[in-house]
Structure 1
Amino acid sequence: MIAIISAGIAPGLALLSYFYLKDQYESEPFYLVFRSFIFGALLVFPIMFIQYVLEVEMVFNSDFLYTFVAVGLLEEFFKWFILFFTIYQHVQFDEHYDGIVYGVSVSLGFATLENILYLFANGVEYAIGRAILPVSSHALFGVIMGYYLGKGKFSQGESRKKWIFLSWSLPILLHSIYDSILLTYLNWRYIMLPFMLFLWWFALHKAKKAKQKLTETMLP
């Protein structure tokens, strides 16, 4: 049991620490990051229940609709909902990069508990593969969500609406593509590799841009 819990928690904490420590000038309060992590974890149970009902009732007659609505839209929208209504207006959300810290925190809270439950059900031998794909992809979706939410927070007028729209729609799209690759293609590994490389590049590029904005604001 200890081995499974440790293997389930380790990748999420490692990724969260990486993005948290990138905030060099004014690290976010630990309690607020931890709270976001817990909120993300608590989302697992209602989302799993809704997904179970949708599957049992056979609401969707195609894999594409199932992955888009029951997985991509459901998971990413509720993570965004938590982020928007618990963090977006918070006084501590005062820098562009902060959105990435909290986005990653909520996403990795969800991914970590989901990972632990999966390893309990299927065995610790899946820990490495889960760390490379599902856990890291959730973190990267969180980076993208947080980046555009930060853009929206510090923009005005119509551009604010555009960035907030992208903060939930783009992670939903990317998550749906990720799951479609897993469910649709027999040789999914050959497609997943370039997709994950793109996802890492895209997310890290956004994190770098947010960090540059942070550096610019700190210069005299």
Structure 2
Amino acid sequence: MPDVVSLGVGGGTTVDVATGAVGPGSVGYRIASEALLFGGATPTLTDAAALAGASIAGRSLPAQPSAVRSALRDALETARTRLADAVERLSLGRADLPLVVVGGGGFLVPDDLPGAGPIVRTEHGDVANAVGAAISLAGGRADRIGVLDDREATIAQASEAAIAKAIQAGADPLEVAVVDVLEVPVTYTDRPTVKVSVKAAGPLARLGERAGARSA
């Protein structure tokens, strides 16, 4: 199983001009309206990259006060230091390993990242995260509490609710299924009691199929 390191560093990561803090907040999907580059008022790492010369959506960063420019430059350096540290942790000191950069925030990775070998940027790699989201499963989770004697009925109720939530989230009603059942005893009750947590998931339904399921 591959090692995974998660960093709070992305295009929408916010930059606090007053404190210099980079993240953990993010404007997320609102970047096109809140980031400075798009006419908003929130400094982000996307703005920092644009200030450093990155070409993003064919836009140029509007003029900013010196304090904002300084904070953005420092933030970009902080982000790159975090990336370099993560690469070193994963590569176990091997500086010759190539680093494949994908995703919309790939512009934050410099071409000469310390600790990494050749930086590989694949064609259309900037939409790799969108591809992953498109092929992912839609899921739903539901919890129920019941007495131990009625355990099977409690699981069935939780499963039905989880499947309904998965379908509501976009799962294909014909292919959604329960993928995980977790049972935890509940203490300090007058009868043996269990809490059941059920997760259901399934491939995304096509828009036409979802519309037909609702009309039925």
TM-score class normalised by the smaller sequence? under 0.3
Between Structure 1 and Structure 2, whose CA radius of gyration is higher?
Answer: 2
Question: By percentage of residues, which structure has more strand?
Answer: 2
TM-score by length of 1: 0.24
- Higher relative CO (Cα under 8 Å, sequence separation at least 6) belongs to 1
